[in-house]
Chain A
Amino acid sequence: MYILIVGAGKVGWNLARELVEKENEVIVIESSRRRYEVVEEELEHSILYGDGTELWVLERAGIERAELVIAVTGDDEDNILICQMAREKYGVERVVARCNNPRNLQHFELLGIKPAISATDLILRLIEHEVPKYGLVHLLDLKEERLEIIEMEVADGAPADGTAVADLGLPDGSLVISILRDGGGFVPKGDSVVRAGDEVLLVLDIGLEDTVTERFSGVTPVASADVR
């Protein structure tokens, strides 16, 4: 696959290395002369010096035949522009953008740049996962499909505590897909009994969170548990 990476910072450089190893044809564009010289020692002819938001630089790098463009500069506006031009001007089918400031994710979304990946946002999600005080963890949001997968800890005295899955009274559009207990996990049947301390994974329609949360925590959440 022919892959164009814009930005030879830590992310861009390491991505290039890995992708070259997986036998892709990779070209990296870097706009800082000093950085270019450092990375060029290793990547040699696979790196190009120039401003990757300039059309002629992108064209010189062969953007027209790129199958994937990865924009990982330190500037969100640059990453947005690169991906926008790659897709809309040069017809590149797949783009991946780095989003430096998670607050800018909405701009990527507005302008149709996806996937946009924010390391800060990912770390925040991991914190949610590791710190159970937030109760509800979003494992996966499938926005277009309007589905989400969440994880919840069953609280002492919650309606679900001691109840069989079939009797949980969960709304339509929600399903318990696994129960994590004592370091293991299993896919429950209707007669599997949920206990306090269990971590339950559910798939549900967006919007059912509050109703579902109530069954497992016993309290109606005041605000969304999202840390953002």
Chain B
Amino acid sequence: MFVLVVGCGRVGSAIAKSMLAEGHEVSVLDENPEAIALLNRGQDRSWEDLGGSFTVGTALEIDAMLAAGVDQADAFVASTDGDNTNLVIAQIAQRRFNVGRVVVRVLDPGRARWYAEQGLQTVCPTQTAIELLEAAVRGQIHFEGVSG
């Protein structure tokens, strides 16, 4: 499938790399041209040599989204550092470009919950951390080193 990742930070770049390694077609959009460094890091060849594509542009600009291939995407990941940006671009991907699978990172549990109720697939790292930490404190789970 063709995966478009918008926002190339720690989360976005990691998802992009594993999707490419699994053999999917991956396009990444970020407003910072330096962000490609995260995609190249720890790889033997550069991101583009490996077949990935990278577009510099603002997520809200339709031209940038189109250049990154939003109209072709089977899956769309909204992982910029702004909750509101993620929620808006995810809805654009879903409603305007009919992308079949849209996932959104939302740090604020309140907004994540409400938008999930509205039909968006939201992932809330804050909520996940709260649940894991609570379970670990209660002794319900135990993990060595970093969770997951």
- Known A106-B62, A110-B92; contact A78-B84, beta-carbon cutoff 8 A: yes
A88 in contact with B118 (CB, 8 Å): yes
Quick check: B95 and A55 within 8 Å, CB to CB?
no
User: In the bound complex, do residue A104 and residue B60 qualify as a contact, i.e. CB atoms below 8 Å apart?
Assistant: yes
* Interface membership of A225, Cβ < 8 A: no
Q: B96 interface residue, CB < 8 Å from A?
A: yes
Contact B60 A77, beta carbon cutoff 8 Å: yes
List A contacts of B96 (CB < 8 A): 110
Scoring A residues 53 to 74 as 1 if CB is less than 8 Å from chain B, else 0, what string do you get? 1111000000000000000000
Answer whether residue B87 sits at the interface, using C-beta atoms and an 8 A cutoff: yes
Give bound CA distance, A170 to B61, whole Å: 40
**Complex Cα–Cα for A80 and B83 (A):** 12
Are A81 and B88 also in contact (CB < 8 A) when A76-B60, A106-B62, A110-B96 are?
yes
Binds A, one of B17-25, B106-114, B124-132, B139-147: B106-114
- Residue B85, interface by CB 8 Å: yes
Interface size class of A (residues with CB under 8 A): 20 to 34
User: Across the interface, which residues of B come within 8 angstroms of A110, CB to CB?
Assistant: 91-92, 95-96
Q: Number of B residues contacting the other chain (C-beta, 8 Å)?
A: 18
Which residue of chain B is the closest to A103 with respect to CB atoms?
A: B61
CA of A80 to CA of B95, assembled, Å: 15
Does A89 touch B at the CB level, under 8 Å? yes
Contact A55 B62 (CB under 8 A): no
Is B33's beta carbon under 8 Å from chain A? no
Cα–Cα, bound, A214→B84 (Å) = 46
Q: Tell me the A76-96 residues at the B interface (CB within 8 Å).
A: 76-78, 80-81, 85, 88-89
Which residues of B are interface residues toward A (Cβ below 8 A)?
60-62, 82-85, 87-88, 91-92, 95-96, 108, 110-111, 114, 118
Can you list 14 A-B contacts (CB < 8 A)? A53-B83, A55-B110, A55-B114, A56-B110, A77-B60, A77-B88, A80-B88, A81-B84, A81-B111, A85-B114, A88-B118, A107-B60, A110-B92, A111-B95
What are the nearest 6 A-B pairs in CB distance? A55-B110, A77-B84, A77-B88, A81-B84, A77-B85, A78-B84
